[in-house]
Amino acid sequence: MTSRRTILSITAAVGLLTAVRPAGAQQAKTVHRIGYLNLRSAPNELDEAFVQGLRELGYVVGRNLFIEYRWAANDMTRLKQQADELVHLGVDVIVTSSTPVVRVVKSATSTIPIVMAATADPVRTGLIASFAHPRGNVTGMSMMSPDLAGKRLQLVREIVPGAIRVALLGWQIPGSGPVGQRATEMLIAETESAGRRMGIDVTARIFADASELPAAVESIRRDRAQALIVQVNSLTYDHRAAIINLAAQLRLPDMYEVRAYVDAGGLVSYGPDLKNYFRSAAGYVDKILRGAAPGDLAVEQATKLEMVVNLRTAKARGIAIPQSVLLRADEVIQ
């Protein structure tokens, strides 16, 4: 669980950064204002990575750049209000992540550039026209997470040989509408399809609020699931400690899309490096502030994936991780 000291440190980093610009950076003639909107309830290491990326490009918060932070705390009504606030402020660019948030911002403005720090498939969810030529006012990074569903299931099968029942825990965001649910639906469909090819019955358990988590996990227990896959989103991220504790109580192998959950005590993750995504989003912001049109900037897709295994968690739950998996892991937490 993130300590109070860590949260304070990250908050200071994203809000009060005053580090000196790199040598050779050009003197900025304009003070830019960035809108930063997220469904999460508080800043974390991803936001710090974004600010670090800006700093490496010569932007210093409080000197040649101001960031208007907004945290919606998983409330879609609040999110829409905050998106309107940023548009009203006339920020130069809005940075955000996840499909439902980008959709809300896109509905709020068709002129202010929008940079996606991380989303699922923005083409299939209708956020952009194509990866090479997104058009409109949206560009940034794509996790392409649903396409990794088969590889994650294969990894589960390696950890639990003979597994035939796997649960998928996802979030149905209240008030996000059909477009907001599309990323979750895509992930479920891809995982179920991969499961059919592998002879694995995948059961999706969807919750709308953190208070529903215990009931969702209890249904997973009744289904006698042999492993658990958890969708990455703002709610599961905010409540990852609770999810991990519930998985531990059931002694279930748990699989995640990104490593932050494993750092918090989950078993294994396989997916893109989100810190690198948020750091790379700063590059898109820089290009836009220098005059590039977002619709002309190709959306970057995941090229480097990482596998992280928490061996300490495996030992605590009595789960034997095959040597073949440990040897392929990018990092093993002892």
111-145 per-position pLDDT tens digit:
999 999 998 889 988 999 999 999 999 999 998 75
How confident is the model over 192-206, as pLDDT tens digits?
999 999 999 999 998
Q: Collapsing DSSP states into helix, strand and coil, what is residue 280? A: helix
1-10, 19-28, 146-155, 275-284: lowest mean pLDDT where? Answer: 19-28
How confident is the model over 282-297, as pLDDT tens digits?
999 999 999 999 999 9
User: ∠ CA(232), CA(233), CA(236), 5° rounding?
Assistant: 80
Task: Go through 111-135 and write b for each residue having 16 or more CB atoms within 10 A of its CB, e for each that does not.
Answer: ebbbbbbbbbbbeebebbeebeebe
34-38, 201-205, 210-214: lowest mean pLDDT where? Answer: 210-214
Query: Does residue 178 surpass a pLDDT of 60?
Result: no
* C-alpha–C-alpha distance, residues 262 and 253, integer Å: 12
pLDDT at 208: 81
How many residues would you count in the chain?
A: 334
49-58, 115-124, 169-178, 288-297: lowest mean pLDDT where? Answer: 169-178
The phi, psi pair for 291, rounded to 5°, reads 115, -5
- Segment 202-220 mean pLDDT: 88
Where residue 5 falls among pLDDT bands split at 50, 70, 90? very low
14-23, 198-207, 291-300, 325-334: lowest mean pLDDT where? Answer: 14-23
Query: Does residue 97 surpass a pLDDT of 70?
Result: yes
* Cβ-based neighbours of 235, under 8 Å, separated by 6 or more: 39, 74, 171, 173, 210
Answer whether 4-144+273-304 and 146-272+306-333 agree in fold: yes
pLDDT at 2: 46
pLDDT at 303: 78
Tell which CATH architecture fits domain 4-144+273-304.
Answer: 3-Layer(aba) Sandwich (3.40)
The phi, psi pair for 283, rounded to 5°, reads -65, -40
Helix (H) or strand (E) holding 54: helix 45-56
Sorted by where each begins, the domain ranges of the chain are 4-144+273-304, 146-272+306-333
Identify the CA nearest to 234 among candidates 260, 252, 215: 260
pLDDT at 207: 85
Where residue 26 falls among pLDDT bands split at 50, 70, 90? very low
pLDDT at 22: 42
Return the residue matching tokens 């705390």: 73
How many angstroms separate the first and last alpha carbons of the chain?
A: 17
Identify the CA nearest to 105 among candidates 332, 42, 91, 185: 91
* C-alpha–C-alpha distance, residues 269 and 239, integer Å: 16
Helix, strand, coil abundance in the chain, percent, nearest 5: 45, 20, 35
39-43, 193-197, 214-218, 324-328: lowest mean pLDDT where? Answer: 214-218
Identify the CA nearest to 155 among candidates 325, 36, 11, 331: 325
The residue with greater pLDDT, 303 or 151, is 151
- Residue 31 CA: distances (Å) to CA of 20, 26, 63, 68, 289: 16, 13, 7, 13, 10
pTM of this prediction?
0.85
Q: Looking at the domain that runs over 146-272+306-333, which CATH code has it been given?
A: 3.40.50.2300
Q: Is the dihedral of CA 224, 185, 258, 82 positive or negative?
A: negative
Helix (H) or strand (E) holding 283: helix 274-289
pLDDT at 101: 93
The β-bridge relationship of strands 305-310 and 268-272 is antiparallel
